[in-house]
Amino acid sequence: MSPGAQLLPDGPVVERLATGATWSEGPLWIPDERAVRWSDIPGNRILRWDAATGVAGVHRTDVEFTNGRLLDPDGTVVQCSHGLRRLEREHPDGTTTELVADWNGHRLNSPNDVARAPDGSYWFTDPDYGIVQPNEGHPGEHEYGDCRVFRWSPVDGLTSVIDDIDRPNGIAFSPDGLTVYVTDTASGLGDGPGHWIRAYDVTGPRASNGRHFATIDAGLPDGIAVDVEGRVWSSAGDGIHVFDEEGTELLFVPVPEVVANVCFGGDDGTDLFIAATTSLYRLRTSTRSPG
Ligand code: MG
């Protein structure tokens, strides 16, 4: 039995909740709706699975290739837009407003995933998939030259916080907010060697002491989620890999499709929702989201 087996009350059983997407990403549990919202990026739409009925459908279409998202304390959704190369807010009526789209006069590449820091700022990754992959955005130029992790707040504006990852992708904070984890998916398109997760110390608006945390050998670690006890649940080509705070692997859960991203949710926060290629899956766990 693996050291993490106690994390799965029903065993390593993934339940397919919905299918029919092209490339699923950016899952988010919305408690007030008891629903999961996620992106079908090449389909240029946002999908929604309703926990009460078990039925999935289309939330919105023509969404400018949105990707990762989070729930703001005010109940709106903050999400990454490949197509508009920005971080944006989606309001309950479905309209969106820009939060930030440029850095020092240069357009962002294509924001991919976002996490909220304890100080209320948003940290997001900005790889270039939305400008180099025509089915995930609009072909465009790298205006500032590389790919970074940024921090944005209404008060402080936009600052670059991490610049030593070739293709930063997934991002999540530890429960105490003192560590931020960022994945590097550069090896996917041959843009670098990265297929691993890095960790950084967080001191207010700064990240420092970047270090290797864990490697995913089967495919890539795209999106990640951290549980209430600080474990890191990572996507991979073959399923879900779970690491303790030291980066030691505790658990592997196979998933039938390539996994792009995960989030905790459900009524008590213990369900792991898995965005995996064409489908949304659920894994019952005995841990829960930090929130
Ligand atoms: Mg991603």
Quote the pLDDT of residue 70: 98
Residue 3 CB coordination number (10 Å):
12
- Listed by start position, the domains of the chain span 5-284
Residues listed for the chain: 291
* Confidence bin at 62 (pLDDT 50/70/90): very high
31 CA → ligand 1 middle, Å = 22
Q: What percent of the chain is modeled with pLDDT above 90?
A: 98
pLDDT in the model for residue 1: 63
- β-strands 157-162, 168-173: how paired? unpaired
For 88-147, write each residue's pLDDT tens digit.
999 999 999 999 999 999 999 999 999 999 999 999 999 999 999 999 999 999 999 999
Residue 189 Cα to ligand 1 midpoint, Å, equals 14
Reference 22, options 260, 199, 192, 191; nearest CA is: 260
To which CATH superfamily is domain 5-284 assigned? TolB, C-terminal domain (2.120.10.30)
Question: Which range (4-8, 112-116, 165-169, 230-234) has the least confidence?
Answer: 4-8
Q: Which residue has the tokens 């890539």?
A: 220
Secondary element (H or E) of residue 131: helix 129-132
When the pLDDT of each residue in the chain is averaged and rounded to a whole number, the result is: 97
Q: Look at residue 263 in the predicted model and tell me its pLDDT.
A: 98
Give the bridge partners for 107, in sequence order: 102
Ligand 1 center–CA 250 separation, angstroms:
23
Q: Give the Cβ contact number of residue 230 at 10 Å.
A: 15
pLDDT of res. 291:
76
Cβ-contact 154, 169 below 8 angstroms: no
Q: Tell me which amino acid residue 180 is.
A: V
- 272-282 pLDDT per residue, tens: 999 999 999 99
Report the alpha-carbon distance of residue 188 to residue 192 in Å, rounded.
8
What pLDDT band is residue 2 in, cutting at 50, 70 and 90?
confident
Q: What is the pLDDT of residue 121?
A: 98
Query: pLDDT-based confidence at 5, cuts 50/70/90?
Result: confident
CA of 43 to the centre of ligand 1 (A): 16
The dihedrals phi and psi of 119, each to the nearest 5 degrees, come to: -85, 5
Q: Quote the ligand 1 centre to 1 CA distance (angstroms).
A: 31
Q: Tally the C-alpha atoms within 13 A of residue 241's C-alpha that lie toward its C-beta.
A: 24
- pLDDT level of residue 3 (50, 70, 90 thresholds): confident
Amino acid at the residue 257: E
Instruction: Give one DSSP letter per residue of 212-252, joined into a string.
Output: EEEE--SS----EEE-TT--EEEE-SSEEEEE-TTS-EEEE
Q: How far is the CA of 25 from the centre of ligand 1 (A)?
A: 7
Q: What pLDDT, on the 0 to 100 scale, is given for residue 186?
A: 96
Taking a 5 Å cut-off on Cβ, the residues next to ion ligand 1 are 112-113, 169, 222-223
Rounded alpha-carbon distances, angstroms, from residue 176 to 86, 108, 172, 197, 245? 28, 29, 11, 19, 12
Task: Give me ligand 1 centre to Cα 129, in Å.
Answer: 9
List pLDDT tens digits, range 197-225.
Answer: 999 999 999 999 999 999 999 999 999 99
Contact (Cβ atoms closer than 8 angstroms) between residue 115 and residue 172: yes
Task: Give CA–CA dist 8/150, Å, rounded.
Answer: 34
Dump pLDDT digits (tens) for 29-50: 999 999 999 999 999 999 999 9
Average pLDDT, integer, range 256-266: 98
